[in-house]
Amino acid sequence: MAYTPKILAFAGSLRKDSYNKKLVKIAVKGAESEGAQVTLIDLKDYPLPIYDQDIEDAEGLPAAALQLKKLMLEHDGFLLALPEYNSSMSAAFKNVIDWVSRPAPKEEVYLCCFIDKVVTLMSSSPGQLGGLRGLLNARAMFSCVYSLVLPKQKCIPQAATAFDQEGNLKDAAQQKEVQELGKTLAQFLRKIKS
């Protein structure tokens, strides 16, 4: 049976009208056009306390962290649209990473939900750099937790005016480039998993 790429997609933002939630949906269309099975989630549906080892020691991982970890383990690639907060990753996204990195149960391999995963990054921001500085931090972090981050990424500046009412990018070239990110991830996964 032919391999079907399994991709988990989400934005590293909690805001309802997040630019990055719009952006990742565009990339999802590209991945699906290449035959990928994509699971698009919203981090707002997985509320987590700020990571605190006292909570982990007393109660174990929160239910939302276990659900996210299970999703990550079930997928081979991640499509991530990450906002830039103060030249780095958002607290919401980093908190997810910190929780799901913990072994549960204790026999589980540390960082298991990141090992050999293929990651595609993108960002959209009201600023001129489009979230680039946050992606640099995310790229470095994923490289240190045994994931492969694909070199191609896309940053959309001036996000407040970049999207139309349907959530598409007004610039047709940018729209195509973001869809291509999804396509490329699906194609790459097919090559290495087939």
Q: Using alpha carbons, select from 190, 117, 112, 122 the residue that is nearest to residue 157.
A: 122
Q: Which domain holds residue 108?
A: 6-193
Q: Which two tokens stand for residue 74?
A: 């079930």
> CA-to-CA distance for 146 and 24, rounded, in angstroms?
23
Taking the model in full, what pTM does it have? 0.96
pLDDT digits (tens, 9 = 90+) for 32-91: 999 999 999 999 999 999 999 999 999 999 999 999 999 999 999 999 999 999 999 999
pLDDT digits (tens, 9 = 90+) for 165-191: 999 999 999 999 999 999 999 999 999
> CA-to-CA distance for 44 and 24, rounded, in angstroms?
15
Q: Using alpha carbons, select from 76, 34, 71, 82 the residue that is nearest to residue 181.
A: 34
In a domain, 142, yes or no: yes
In a domain, 55, yes or no: yes
Find out whether 156 and 128 touch, Cβ atoms under 8 Å: no
Q: Using alpha carbons, select from 110, 120, 107, 115 the residue that is nearest to residue 153.
A: 120
Domain count, the chain: 1
What average pLDDT does this structure show over 12-27? 97
In a domain, 1, yes or no: no
CATH of residue 64: 3.40.50.360
Q: Using alpha carbons, select from 190, 161, 134 the residue that is nearest to residue 19.
A: 161
Sign of CA dihedral 191, 148, 14, 131: negative
What average pLDDT does this structure show over 143-161? 97
> CA-to-CA distance for 151 and 12, rounded, in angstroms?
19
Does the structure show a pLDDT above 90 at 99? yes
